[in-house]
Chain A
């Protein structure tokens, strides 16, 4: 299946700090297809988590999405708004042109997210069942067209009803815990987060994200900090859920082993940009970008005693605007660097053999193509200034 569910075009996220402007995400374009696992790999500070947060519209001050479009496949909403709307393109809706309220109702229901550290993502003073129940309850209320605003909250506080979560929602939460293979879900639902082990809590967070039956699950380093045996369990769970529900998973990780176990396609991120994007097997077998190659050579191989690792020299680059090089961000660490690299900034181009294998390197062999991103041609012209209108 290659129908996209999310199309990201020229996304730019900046942080305006005292040190200067940080270009955390520096103009990336990609598609997430329906029912696929797309993984973003990169070192710390490459901007991969900010990409995930930008999709979810969770960028907070001093950060801001300054440019770009996020097209989400939502035929109902597109039809409701009508084709004349700037925010609509066929069956796609531009999340960035929607009003905050409409956007928020999509992010969190159609888009679910799980975070790296489940211990800090759960409220310590509420039971796990209640917190998952909350997610279920809000989905139900949205489906019923109910609002939950300050007025309702005040009414709730005055009423005798003790909880926001109805019994049905709580029962559904138990069902969700069962779905993510937590033993004794009934008892566990009544426990507090500190009573869970790290792996179990990560499963509970997956259950919470599943509560709204999302079309896309954004998983930000879901297995970092877990033991390998537990990690294997979580990866298995994600694979199963993906097969069962048909959702797409956008997996953010630094662990290449995890990527090769689960991802259909992989994007290599460095310095706020994608340097390579393509089918996982293809990228790992025949990396087209020197950075991907270097990254793979850094990894010790547990199945092979004779392998020698070759580190990449230098450090992850600074994302500060005034420190960013004019040319390729990898130029100062790249073994194949030429003078041209420091001057021109490469864009993603398809490789000659596989059309969906894209690489950003001026030395890589690329097919003859003038489009920066092959699918970008479908973007209507009105949208070129769509970013500006959405800034408000």
Chain B
């Protein structure tokens, strides 16, 4: 039977025999991967001091409660900035990491358990293509040995047939068979990536995880690889989880797109919808900052360039520290103009992150010419730094702000923060935005969506 699997062109029929019949009825046949509330935290080693103080080491919340599905034969694009957890997600789905919480079901069976009992068996069904093709190929193996390795490890078919299979694969990915005895160092980046793809295809998987497969390549070569990926997807009926930070590539290849920010899904929708009617401000920013040959970089930008650390992610909506449309307070004590509110919120963020302590204030005042450090001057300088107007339009808000500024000028940062803690609290800081259903297959996690 092994030989048949190996040789047959349409392998889909033989695949289904891999799934034990008991699970077939339980699952939706269209869904290949189902991820439920998946969390993956990385923990630092518990050091001596941690042990002595009996405290837990800090956790890095790389993936923090994501749920989604991948259908058979579809491409799900994952996009986000560096550090948003996209690669961790891929590795956890592959079973390379044990999830901290939640489950990944692959064709109805739990991946973590499958991997524990028989990693090899699972590996035949899901494969990964890495970003940097030069570091994932063994420099001391020839191309033939590299592509043959998975076949040897999994003992697919009799040995002579394996070489035929290797040749078939290598031709499929657009290389000539006379290159098979070369070493990876003799190839260009694009050719190496083709080898990476051939190796991933060798075991006839159902799911390919593509972790930034084209970001190290030139545009002309990137186009070749993208088209190759599209062709083999149709030919072998593969499902893709396609990770990239390049939105134009995502749009070209994906049926659906998932936008991640600091370990959470902020928006997921069919490709068309994400690009035409994005609902989440973060998606909008990503779109407007992607330059293309037609569209300039314009429009909305993040307020704060630094991405917060996933060690200690902001409370509430994780994007609130950078969001250009953060929701004003809803307690009806104070009213704000949008610009004013953003400036005041900036002041609050600065206070909270300790960027407005006494030393800092002294330095700020010193930068101004001919000014001594007194209360009025400090207040003025702080207003100027944060872009707050001389008086706020709402008198209650002005009073609260003035109290806070006075406390700050006296060197009491804590009181300053306390003064504005309640009145100037955005709903975005308080609550985790619920995932809202917007239209068919379009979900977004933003409070503004809920209000609308």
Give A residues with C-beta under 8 Å from B.
43-44, 183-184, 186-187, 197, 199-200, 227-233, 235-236, 254-258, 260-261, 284, 294-303, 305, 307, 309-313, 315-316
Contact = CB atoms under 8 A, between A and B. Distances in A.
Contact of A229 (B191, B221, B285, B363): B285
B220 A303 contact: no
A298 B272 contact: no
Given A229-B302, A309-B252, A260 B291 contact: yes
Contact of A302 (B227, B251, B307): B251
Contacts of A260: 291-294, 296
B305 A200 contact: yes
A307 B248 CA distance: 11
Nearest to B188: A315
A299 B306 CA distance: 29
27 contacts: A197-B306, A199-B306, A227-B81, A228-B245, A228-B286, A229-B305, A232-B291, A233-B305, A235-B291, A255-B291, A256-B219, A256-B293, A260-B296, A294-B220, A297-B223, A298-B223, A300-B226, A300-B248, A300-B249, A301-B248, A302-B251, A303-B295, A309-B223, A312-B223, A315-B188, A315-B190, A316-B188
A187 to B, nearest CB: 7
B227 A299 contact: no
B81 A315 contact: no
Contacts of B272: 305
A311 B296 contact: no
Interface in B290-343: 290-297, 301-302, 304-307
Nearest to A315: B188
Given A43-B219, A44-B218, A231-B289, A311 B224 contact: yes
Of all A-B residue pairs in the complex, the 5 with the closest CB atoms, nearest first, are: A257-B291, A232-B289, A311-B223, A300-B252, A298-B223
A43 B189 CA distance: 12
A309 B220 CA distance: 10
A322 B223 CA distance: 29
A206 to B, nearest CB: 13
B322 to A, nearest CB: 8
A301 B188 contact: no
Interface residues of B, number: 49
Contacts of A254: 218-219
Contacts of B224: 311-313
Q: Most chain-B CB neighbours within 10 Å: which of A301, A302, A312?
A: A302
Contact of B248 (A43, A233, A284, A299): A299
B222 interface: yes
Interface string B257-295: 000000000000001100100000000011111111111
A306 to B, nearest CB: 10
Contacts of A316: 188, 218, 220
B82 interface: yes
Contacts of A227: 81-82, 245, 307
Contacts of B221: 43, 311, 315
Interface string B157-193: 0000000000000000000000000000000111100
B247 interface: yes
Contacts of B288: 232
A233 B227 CA distance: 31
A184 B272 CA distance: 41
B355 interface: yes
Contact of B275 (A228, A231, A303, A312): A303
Contact of B363 (A186, A232, A255, A261): A186
Contacts of A230: 81, 305
Contacts of A303: 275, 292, 294-295
A315 B249 CA distance: 20
Contacts of B285: 229
Given A298-B219, A303-B294, 16 more contacts: A43-B220, A44-B218, A183-B355, A184-B355, A186-B360, A200-B306, A228-B81, A228-B245, A257-B248, A258-B291, A261-B296, A301-B251, A302-B295, A303-B292, A309-B226, A309-B252
Nearest to A186: B363
Contacts of B220: 43, 294-295, 298, 311-312, 316
